Each structure stands twice: as structure tokens, then as C-alpha cells.
């Protein structure tokens, strides 16, 4: 069975990214096994390794980093749910990505952003950063243009008026989830 991790890309108090991640996870569960990974559960130091992780055969990550690397490596594909802070992704998500070496290489990543521009600039930043880890970002991204706290419940249920829009985020997410699973299965077969 395809195994997908939905990563909550914010650790801020009062965040809404966790609501959006719960909404995403419910849709992806229709097609794959899903775990939600909360970066609050992986309190990483600031990345300061002297050699790039991908080029350090002597690398011995500290325990907090190793916990993150071991967990993220378990999955066949990913959805990164990111807020947009100052026209970029969150620092905590970028920091978590910077610790990766080969854990997500040749694996697909779907991107879901939210913020004043629907998270478009955060998604763009991730599209630039993730190839450095060897990951493959899938073409379709979700740009959530609504105030998350007003239209997504704490348990990840999209308000029925928003969900009913045939051109809205629910339709886009359903399409993205299918596309992610397709890429996950294709890349998994290719890696084998």
C-alpha cells in the first residue's frame, strides 16, 4: 500500500496550518495510507552542519535530527502544507528540509500553501528548495485562498459552502491527491 506523510509546516502558537493538513490527510486517505507529521514533534536545532548532508559520508546526526530523518524516510510520498511568511515558506519547514540527505530522493512531494497569496510564494520557494534533496514536486499545487480558520474546522472539515464549489479547493485537492498517488506508485516502481 502507498504510504504518504502529510507534513504540518508550522509550529506557531495559534497556527491554522494544522487544520489544513487534517483536511488534506482526509482526502489522501481515500487513496493511500496516511500519517500526519507535526514539526512540533521534531524540535530541530538550526541547521549548522559544516558539510552538506548529501556530501558527508561521515555524517552522524544528533538524536533529534536522526529521529526526523528516520521518520521522514519511512514514506513513499509527501504532502507539505505550508503557510506563507514574508513571501516564503516557514523557517521551521525550510530548516527541516535542510537536514535531509537522501530520505526523500526520487519521491514525490505535493505542495499545499495558504496565506495572503494563497501561499503561492511559499510553494514557489519549496519548488526551488526541494530538488536539492532529490525530491520530485508534482505539477499540481493547492493555493488555499480562504482564511483557514474561518472555513476549515479544527478536525479538518471544509465548510460545506466552500466544499460545494465545483471549481473550489475540494475539487482541486481531490485531483491533487490522485496525481500524488500516481506519481508515488510510478516512482516507487522505478526505484525498485
List pLDDT tens digits, range 152-166. Answer: 999 999 999 989 999
Q: Is the pLDDT reported for residue 147 higher than 90?
A: no
**pTM metric for this prediction:** 0.96
The stretch 171-176 carries a mean pLDDT of 97
Whichever domain contains 119, its CATH number is 3.40.50.360
Distance, CA of 85 to CA of 172 (rounded, Å): 23
The stretch 129-140 carries a mean pLDDT of 97
Domain hosting 37: range is 3-191
Query: Looking at the 3D structure of the chain, how many domains does it have?
Result: 1
Rounded-to-10 torsion of CA 137, 139, 145, 146: -70
Rounded-to-10 torsion of CA 85, 21, 41, 14: 50
* Residue 57 CB-density burial (10 A; 0-12 exposed, 13-18 middle, 19+ buried): exposed
Q: Is the pLDDT reported for residue 149 higher than 90?
A: no
pLDDT of residue 146: 82
Structural contact between residues 100 and 66, judged by C-beta atoms closer than 8 angstroms: no
List pLDDT tens digits, range 49-77. Answer: 999 999 999 999 999 999 999 999 999 99
Residues 6+ apart with CB under 8 A from 29: none
Q: Residue 98 has which C-alpha cell?
A: 535542510
Q: E-strand spans in the chain?
A: 3-8, 33-38, 77-83, 108-114, 136-144
Amino acid at each position: 500500500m502507498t504510504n504518504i506523510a502529510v507534513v504540518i509546516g508550522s509550529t506557531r502558537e495559534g497556527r491554522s496550518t494544522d487544520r489544513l493538513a487534517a483536511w488534506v490527510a482526509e482526502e489522501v486517505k481515500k487513496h493511500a495510507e496516511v500519517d500526519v507529521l507535526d514539526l512540533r514533534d521534531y524540535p530541530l536545532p538550526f541547521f549548522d552542519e559544516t558539510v552538506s548532508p548529501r556530501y558527508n559520508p561521515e555524517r552522524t546526526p544528533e538524536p533529534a535530527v536522526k529521529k526526523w530523518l528516520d521518520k521522514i524516510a519511512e514514506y513513499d510520498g509527501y504532502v507539505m502544507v505550508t503557510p506563507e511568511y514574508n513571501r516564503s515558506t516557514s523557517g521551521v519547514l525550510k530548516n527541516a528540509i535542510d537536514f535531509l540527505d537522501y530520505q526523500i530522493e526520487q519521491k514525490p512531494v505535493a505542495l499545499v500553501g495558504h496565506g495572503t497569496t494563497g501561499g503561492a510564494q511559499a510553494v514557489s520557494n519549496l519548488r526551488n528548495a526541494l530538488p536539492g534533496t532529490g525530491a520530485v514536486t508534482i505539477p499540481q499545487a493547492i493555493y488555499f485562498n480562504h482564511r483557514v480558520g474561518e472555513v476549515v474546522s479544527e478536525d479538518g472539515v471544509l465548510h460545506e459552502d466552500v466544499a460545494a464549489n465545483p471549481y473550489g479547493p475540494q475539487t482541486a485537492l481531490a485531483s491533487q491527491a490522485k496525481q500524488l498517488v500516481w506519481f508515488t506508485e510510478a516512482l516507487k516502481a522505478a526505484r525498485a
